[in-house]
Amino acid sequence: MINRHSFVPIYVQIAQTIVQTVQADGLTYGEQLPSERDLAEQHQVSRLTARQAIDELVKRGVAYRVQGKGTFLARPQIRQASGLMSFSDELLQRGFQPSSKIILHQRVDASKSVAQRFQIAAGDPVLQLNRVRLANGQPVAVEYASLNLHLLPNLDQEDFEGQSLFAVIRGRYNVYPAWAEAEMEARLATDAECKWLDIPTGQAVLVAHRLTFTEAFELIEAVDSVYPGDRFPIYIGRQRILTELDEKA
């Protein structure tokens, strides 16, 4: 329902209504969305306002246009991989419904390299949590996470099928992710990753290696996130280009 007295612009309200309809009806990648004319008639607004609503969906990455054919639901994309925003929060902000498929969820003995990162003894228990991350039911990433059970005891007993890892860490352990270090690399997807992500065999992927710390620099998790390149536009943000005058300053 459009509220014409709201401070939220009408075109944004229409865009939000479309996102809610997509989630409620379980629409999938490639399905056609209402035309500008249909939106204008449905919400009793001008064609310009309807076009602005579609522009907003395209800007958010929810939809894409095909010249002469219409507007279609886009494949879910991740805008950034290394920030402190959780996967769930990132997708919710972009209008998608996050969920996960658990590949591996068990307490394992820390390898020497993992133990060094967590500053624990080799063989001490850590939680290995491997998941396929989904947006509106579509796979967008595979995550391989090692989590610090010294800092988060009994975390292995939690169910992460339908809840955010960061939300559990904050809400049940009063541990707040505050810092992150990350680096990116490109490689070919494994056969298993191709199956999980529904991509062709041998396709290139981007891998974000991230370490997440508390304010006191206690390591919470070490995670490798694998993203198909066609679903992961890297967002750098606005940066100032160094000019000759700057160099002389």
pLDDT range class, residue 197, cuts 50, 70, 90: very high
The pLDDT of residue 17: 86
Strand partners, 207: 185, 226
Tokens 């559990």, residue located: 168
Q: Is the pLDDT of residue 244 over 60?
A: no
Q: Is the pLDDT of residue 46 over 90?
A: yes
The pLDDT of residue 37: 93
The pLDDT of residue 85: 56
87-231 belongs to CATH 3.20.20.20: no
Tokens of 217: 């620099």
pLDDT range class, residue 132, cuts 50, 70, 90: very high
Mean pLDDT of the chain: 83
pLDDT tens digits for range 93-102: 767 788 899 9
Of 55-59, 102-106, 205-209, 229-233, the one with minimum mean pLDDT is 229-233
Q: Where are the domains of the chain?
A: 10-73, 87-231
- 89-119 burial, b at 16+ Cβ within 10 Å, e below that, comes to ebbeebbbbbbbeeeeeeeeebeeebbebbe
Q: What is the CATH number of domain 10-73?
A: 1.10.10.10
Q: Is the pLDDT of residue 188 over 50?
A: yes
